[in-house]
Structure formats: C-alpha cells, structure tokens
Amino acid sequence: MSIFRPGRLRTVLSATAALILICTFYLYWTPPPASTIPSTVFEVPLTERQIAFWKVLRSILDAHAPNCPSPTLQASVSAVHFNATTVDPRPDLIVFGENDLDVLTEAHANYLNDIRTAQKLRPAHSPGTRGIVTTAGGSYLPVFLSSLRMLRRTGSTLPVEVYMKDASEYEKKICDKVLPDMGARCLILSDVVGKDVIQHYQLKVFAVLFSSFEEIVWMDADCFPMDKPEILLNHEPFTSTGLVTWPDFWASSVSPAYYNISQQPMPPMTERQSSETGIFLVSKKTHYLTLLLAAYYNYYGPSHYFRLLSQGAPGEGDKETFLQAATAWVNLSTRWRVQDPSVDKPPRVFFIHANYPKFNPAENVFGYNWETTPTLRPDGTEGRAWTAPEDVLRRFGIDIERAYWEEIKWVSCSPDIEFRTWEGKTGVCEKVESYWNTVFAEPHDDDPKFVDEG
C-alpha cells in the first residue's frame, strides 16, 4: 500500500489526470539544433494587428459589463473528488441581490450577439500556423526554461510564444539570447492592452487570443510533455473538434445560476468533472467565438465569473472559463472513455503538470522544505520528490524525474543564464549538483522501477 504525502500526491497525480483520451509513446530525444525549429512565423509583425483587435474587443467588453454587485458566497465548495455515479445535487451557494440575475443574463446575451456580428473584430493570428503558448515571468521564468528544455527533448519543433504581463517581467538576456536558440520568443501583453488592465489568471486567454498561432497547445510554465505535442494536433479528437481539455480531480462546482445566465441546460453532476487548464489544445479557426466568450468570463472574472464558475472550489480562477464558454456556444459534449482496469490497460501519460512545488531551484524546492515532512530516504539522505503512486510512476516508462532534474541542472549551471529573481542568491548550481549527485547519479534501492506497459 502506497503512503501519500500531500506535496507528492498533487504533483504526481497531476500527471495521471493529464491524459484521459490519448495513449502514446515517449521518445527520449535530446534537444534539436535551433536551426531545425521554424522561425518564419516569428518574422510576421503582430503589434498592429493585436492593437486593432484589442481596440474593438475592449469596446465590446466594456459595453456589456455586468452592472451589478459581485456575487456573495455563503460558503466555499470543498474539495470533492469527481464521482461518475453521484446523486448529490449541484452546489448552490451564491446569493444574488434583486434583479442581479436579470442584469447578468442580459449583459451576457448582448455580448454574445455583438461578438457574433462584429465585422471589425478581426483575429490577430496568421492562418495555418501552429505553436505553443504560455505565460512566464519572475520566478516562473526559470521553471518555464526547464519545461522548454523538456519540450525540445521530445524532438518537438513547434515554435513557442511566452507572454509576460508587462515590461518589468521582460529579461533581456533570457529573451534576446537564450530563448531564440530554442525556438521561443517573449512578448509583452501590456504593449497591447496597457498596464494593469489584466492580471494573474486573466492573462491566459488573452495570451492565446493575441498569439500569432491559429492552432495552439497551451502549456502552463510548469507543464511539459513526454512526447511531441504535434501528435495531438494531428489526430483525433482535436482534428474534428478543435478543442481538447483535460479533467481535474474535482467535481464540477459551476453555480446553477451560471446556466441560467448563459441560457443553457444545467448538466448533471455525473456528466463531467472540473477542468485542468494547465494544458489544453484549441483552434482559433473553429473556436474563435469560444475564446472571445472565455475572454469575457476572464475580463469580469475577479468581479463575477470566477465565483460563478467555481464557488470557491480548489483552483478558483480561469480554469472553468474555456470549457464553459464552449458549451455556451455549441453545447459541446465531452468525449469520455471509461476504463475498466480489469480489461483496459491505462493510457500512457502525455503531460506532466509539476505544479507543486514549483521546480525553481533558487527557491524552496528541495525535499526538506516541502510541507512539514522531509522527503528523505530511510538512511537520512535526500530522496526523490515523485514516489507515489507506484503504478503511475511505472506508466512513465522511463525515469522522467531524473530527466527533468537533468534539465533543471542545465538551467541552473549554464554560465550564460542569469535570472533577475536569482540575483543575490548564491550557490544555486552547487545545490542542484549536490542534490543530483545524492539522488540521481547512482542507482538507489528505493528508486522507482519503470516498466514499459506498451
């Protein structure tokens, strides 16, 4: 029987939840030369198209503000795991003032009508392009660089656009010297939308909309794939739907009021769980209106929609805005594959969302700083982070934790790499090398055993 520690459980189980629909193989490649990564899409100037697009979109967003007080939450939804056979009712914990629902419903409907008919709302992307989009800045930039190295390790040549909130997050040495050699470039959102207009969780949907790519693989800065994401873009279900999302652990906690506001039938609690939006695939060709509605939910997220879509559940923020926007447009049904473990083999893991802790080696990432329980071996030496569940580790097929730390070591010890958040912090490389030598350099009796299950 495996014993789970909170920090380890979330990190490793995120990998389990990362792939429900697709089984694939992991190809363990070294990063390709920069010359093999397409750069032509980077030569197309974006700024004028982005500004023109934002000028029209913002006028529509502002015209349909939900002019009522923010919803009041009686209590937060607790962390309830999804159960496909539950008979529990949908949680309904939001209190509205008189006429608030009518105001929200009218604003929502008018926004939908305007974005559907606006002739000047032209997309900023270049047709026929595809790539990876993310946001990173500050302490997330070192994490992203390790993830980028893991991406290139798969042999993927997809170009990458890294959006930063404003110029304060732009690091010239990294953005101008390091990232271009790996087929990535930095862009600044405030250059388009202005300073302090969008913040934190709101950044994701606007980075996707402003991206130059038509087909997008979104990956959070702390996500990385175990195979080429191009595979997912070239196969079902993406080729027929243009949108692929992954489930989170938790039961849906979307408020019943939201379904009234968006004028769609309320699904049963057994239909789908909440969303894990650390990774998703989207085509602007087929889901442009979905993204515009998700932009509305995010623009008014802190004041209204984040609460309506989560009711205080774990991870409240932008995570439910994408799938709910899709269902509001097309009543999209999720494709499920319920596996009987006695008959089906579990699918290979495709993405790992290493969301806790953040693997920034200049911060509290080493074992003895996790939660209150040291990550130590029986002999008292430092040990691994990913130790359970054992069946999940076996499904990786290879020692992916070792590979990840190999790239963290490269990021930490490369003489040309300097991060602003690492200024004044000494011995980062030495700490990583010490940890590497203790944990990964030589085999250890309690190392996980990897089995290729086909």
Residue 303: the pLDDT is 96
Residue 392: the pLDDT is 82
Lowest average pLDDT, out of 8-17, 38-47, 96-105, goes to: 8-17
Q: Which two tokens stand for residue 138?
A: 């500050």
If you average pLDDT over residues 73-85, what whole number do you get? 92
Residue 343: the pLDDT is 60
Tens-place pLDDT, residues 184-213:
999 999 999 998 888 888 999 999 999 999
pLDDT bin (cut points 50, 70, 90) of residue 2 is very low
Residue 366: the pLDDT is 60
Greatest mean pLDDT among 45-49, 97-101, 358-362:
97-101
More confident residue, 46 or 53: 53
Residue 182 has pLDDT above 90, yes or no: yes
Q: Please, are residues 173 and 423 in contact by the beta-carbon 8 Å criterion?
A: no
pLDDT bin (cut points 50, 70, 90) of residue 24 is very low
Tens-place pLDDT, residues 314-366:
889 999 999 999 999 875 744 545 455 556 676 778 999 988 778 898 887 76
Q: Report the percent of the chain where pLDDT is more than 70.
A: 83
If you average pLDDT over residues 356-379, what whole number do you get? 65
Residue 17: the pLDDT is 38
If you average pLDDT over residues 172-177, what whole number do you get? 96
Residue 134 has pLDDT above 90, yes or no: yes
Residue 178 has pLDDT above 80, yes or no: yes
Number of Cβ within a 10 Å radius of residue 428: 18
Mean pLDDT rounded to a whole number for the chain: 85
Q: Please, are residues 11 and 355 in contact by the beta-carbon 8 Å criterion?
A: yes
pLDDT bin (cut points 50, 70, 90) of residue 4 is very low
If you average pLDDT over residues 134-156, what whole number do you get? 97
Residue 216: the pLDDT is 98
Domains of the chain, residue spans:
46-329, 356-441
Tens-place pLDDT, residues 408-433:
999 999 998 999 999 999 999 999 99
Residue with tokens 């105001």: 103
If you average pLDDT over residues 237-255, what whole number do you get? 94
More confident residue, 442 or 258: 258
Residue 9 has pLDDT above 50, yes or no: no
Edge-to-edge strand order for the sheet containing 273-283? 184-188, 160-164, 130-135, 215-219, 273-283, 243-251
Q: Which two tokens stand for residue 171?
A: 């690091």
pTM over 0.85: yes
CATH topology of domain 46-329: Spore Coat Polysaccharide Biosynthesis Protein SpsA; Chain A (3.90.550)
Lowest average pLDDT, out of 145-149, 181-185, 422-426, goes to: 422-426
